[in-house]
Homo-oligomer: A and B are copies of this chain.
Amino acid sequence: MAIKNHPNKNVNLNGWMNKLKRIEEKTERLGLLSQLGQILNSTLDHKEVRRRAMEAATQLMKAEVGSLLLIDEEKGQLYFEVALGDQEETIKKITLNIGEGIAGWVAQKGDPLIVNAPEKDSRFFKGVDERTEFKTRNIICVPVKVKERTIGVLEAINKKEGEDFDEEDLSLFISLADQVAIALDNARLYQELEEMFFQTAESLADAIEKRDPYTGGHTQRVTMYSLATAKHLPLKPMEMKWLKISAVLHDIGKIGIDDQILKKPERLNPEEYNAIKQHANMGAEIIDHIKQLKNIIPGVKYHHEQLDGTGYPEGLKGEKIPIIAKIVSVADTYDAMTTDRPYRRGLNKELAIKELRRCSGTQFDKEVVEAFVKAYETGEI
């Protein structure tokens, strides 16, 4: 429709209105992209970033399904990190070789791709549709790159309302993939640092433990038992982390015990035993210097307290003993019972469990013993 009196008489109002509509939609989607970027970046949990990436892909592309495939460089394969709800388990078992399928092509070339007629595209891998009874109508797929290196592929399948994917989708999807890459990389860096922390604490605790010739592998086992027990208790994720560090470092106070006592092959006399008992307080003192580890002091300091108040170093009773210390206490005692000492053989597992049960409610917390036994019965211990 031509417009009278306008300098450019050929201006078409419908054209204008369409352009305005398109650009308004684009504005909305850019706003959404910005929001999705925030959501992606507001966690440093790698698994959670992966989940959010898939959701963001689905939402931004107005697609039926979104998925994230990551590259396993050693195997030269792409695996589905997350995928659609119902079919998740089926899809997770599917891997693509790099170069295979649309996603494999994108991973290999590092270029984005839209395929609006997959049945006519020789690159299309029919395996997923066949195994999931899902019908791929169209697909948009972009590389996820960290510093020029392709680490995976983000894809969305079946644009809603029967439309095809277009260049605008592609431009938005590339931006989303960039945000996904950043969020994944930050989460990876955080996770690697966390692993470095745990491994260093474990290695040093191990080295400290090795001075004591009768406890090879004790720290590792106590950590494993503690975490397995905690799974059956209502601990928060943060408390699980504190528990893990407490268990790893529970005996570091032994660094302050003299060789002649620590390495004595015979039973200790009361004075020597008193010296050994100092390790609980000494461990707490070492950790006291670590600002961010305040929360694990109770686990280290009180792992020899007993429910009836006959433990050490403070003779705390019942609910005064922190839950983390109660867990480490059961794990620690079980390991001591089931390993050999120079002056006695270790008990077998069943007898040790019986002994834990016998002392449940006096020495040990009942709920913790119950959780420990559950973990034992399910084969986790």
Contact = CB atoms under 8 A, between A and B. Distances in A.
Interface of A: 1, 3-6, 11, 13, 16-17, 19-20, 23-24, 26-27, 30-31, 33-34, 37-38, 41-42, 44, 175, 178-179, 182-183, 185-186, 189-190, 192-197, 199-208, 210-211, 252, 255-256, 258-260, 286-287, 289-293
A196 B290 contact: yes
Contact of A292 (B178, B182, B192, B293): B192
Nearest to A285: B207
B207 A255 contact: yes
What number of copies of this chain does the assembly contain?
2
A264 to B, nearest CB: 13
Given A1-B6, A259-B259, A291 B24 contact: no
A27 B171 CA distance: 13
A235 B201 CA distance: 27
Given A193-B197, A207-B255, 10 more contacts: A13-B13, A19-B20, A23-B23, A27-B30, A34-B34, A42-B185, A193-B194, A199-B289, A210-B255, A255-B255
Contacts of A256: 207, 210-211
Given A4-B4, A193-B197, A27 B23 contact: yes
Contacts of A31: 30
Shortest 7 CB-CB contacts between residues of A and residues of B: A30-B30, A259-B259, A196-B292, A199-B290, A204-B204, A197-B197, A203-B289
Nearest to A253: B207
A7 B203 CA distance: 78
Contacts of A259: 258-260
